[in-house]
């Protein structure tokens, strides 16, 4: 379709999950290969699409793929709303010790990354053409600490319930098996892929994106939190002023 309409550059939004195999991913770069098998359809189909986009790179159509991890920020309709919904109904449980480090991708920086990659594809040397790139804030955080900070800024109690990785992984395998065997298909509420995402380290090197098309995150995690939840911050400021009699 791009070629038919004379489109010269295509930036595909992929995912770091295309290289996920359930193990810890600590500072890995784009040399990390695709795994032989996937634990869920989401990373599998993302990988299929990413391969297709990169294979389509040519002189007529320059392509690349970006792999932002856990996109969030103002207007988020997925990550933060899901966290808040599950926490409010008591369905969010910490998996593992809660010390696992993850990358986050603030939406403003994701947009800048896509624009910069697109401009690079249209440049004379097109350094990004035919390549995939990890995108994040470059500032790994303890996932469950960040989740609890999001909850606190939205007036929701922090997560106190915890289960071991082994227990959650076994439960997920049981639910996946039941889903496959059931005469009435259903989406398992917990999968082994989700368990590994909640309990393992997964943060990535963004050096290639910095080198090839000048990507540089502009916002820290703290700044992103302040931008995403301004009303909560305003309410907190008013309470502090009231407390000191102003």
Of the residues 42, 133, 203, 215, only one is catalytic, namely 42
What the block records as the tokens of 224 is 């992103």
- Sheet-wide strand order for 62-68: 9-13, 62-68, 132-135
Whole-angstrom distance, CA of residue 29 vs CA of residue 40: 22
What the block records as the tokens of 101 is 């480090």
Give yes or no: 42 in active site: yes
CB distance 127 to 212 below 8 Å: yes
Whole-angstrom distance, CA of residue 19 vs CA of residue 53: 16
Give the Cβ contact number of residue 129 at 10 Å. Answer: 21
Contacts of 91 (CB under 8 A, 6+ apart): none
Q: Just list the catalytic residues.
A: 42
């Amino acid at each position: 379709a791009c070629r038919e309409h004379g489109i010269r550059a295509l930036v595909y939004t992929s995912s770091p999950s295309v290289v996920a195999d359930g193990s810890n991913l600590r500072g890995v770069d784009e040399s990390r290969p695709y795994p032989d098998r996937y634990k869920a359809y989401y990373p599998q189909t993302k990988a299929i699409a990413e391969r297709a986009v990169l294979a389509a790179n040519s002189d007529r159509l320059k392509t690349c793929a970006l792999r932002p991890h856990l996109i969030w920020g103002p207007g988020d309709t997925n990550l933060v709303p899901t966290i808040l919904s599950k926490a409010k109904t008591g369905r969010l449980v910490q998996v593992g010790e809660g010390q696992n480090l993850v990358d986050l991708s603030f939406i403003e920086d994701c947009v800048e990354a896509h624009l910069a990659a697109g401009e690079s594809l249209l440049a004379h040397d097109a350094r990004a053409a035919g390549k995939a790139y990890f995108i994040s804030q470059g500032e790994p955080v303890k996932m469950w600490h960040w989740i609890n900070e999001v909850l606190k800024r939205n007036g929701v109690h922090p997560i106190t319930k915890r289960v071991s990785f082994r227990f959650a992984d076994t439960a997920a395998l049981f639910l996946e098996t039941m889903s496959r065997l059931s005469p009435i298909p259903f989406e398992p509420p917990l999968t082994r892929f989700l368990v590994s995402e909640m309990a393992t380290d997964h943060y990535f090197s963004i050096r290639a994106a910095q080198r090839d098309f000048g990507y540089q995150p502009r916002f820290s995690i703290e700044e992103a939190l302040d931008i995403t939840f301004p009303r909560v911050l305003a309410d907190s400021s008013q309470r502090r002023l009231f407390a000191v009699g102003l």
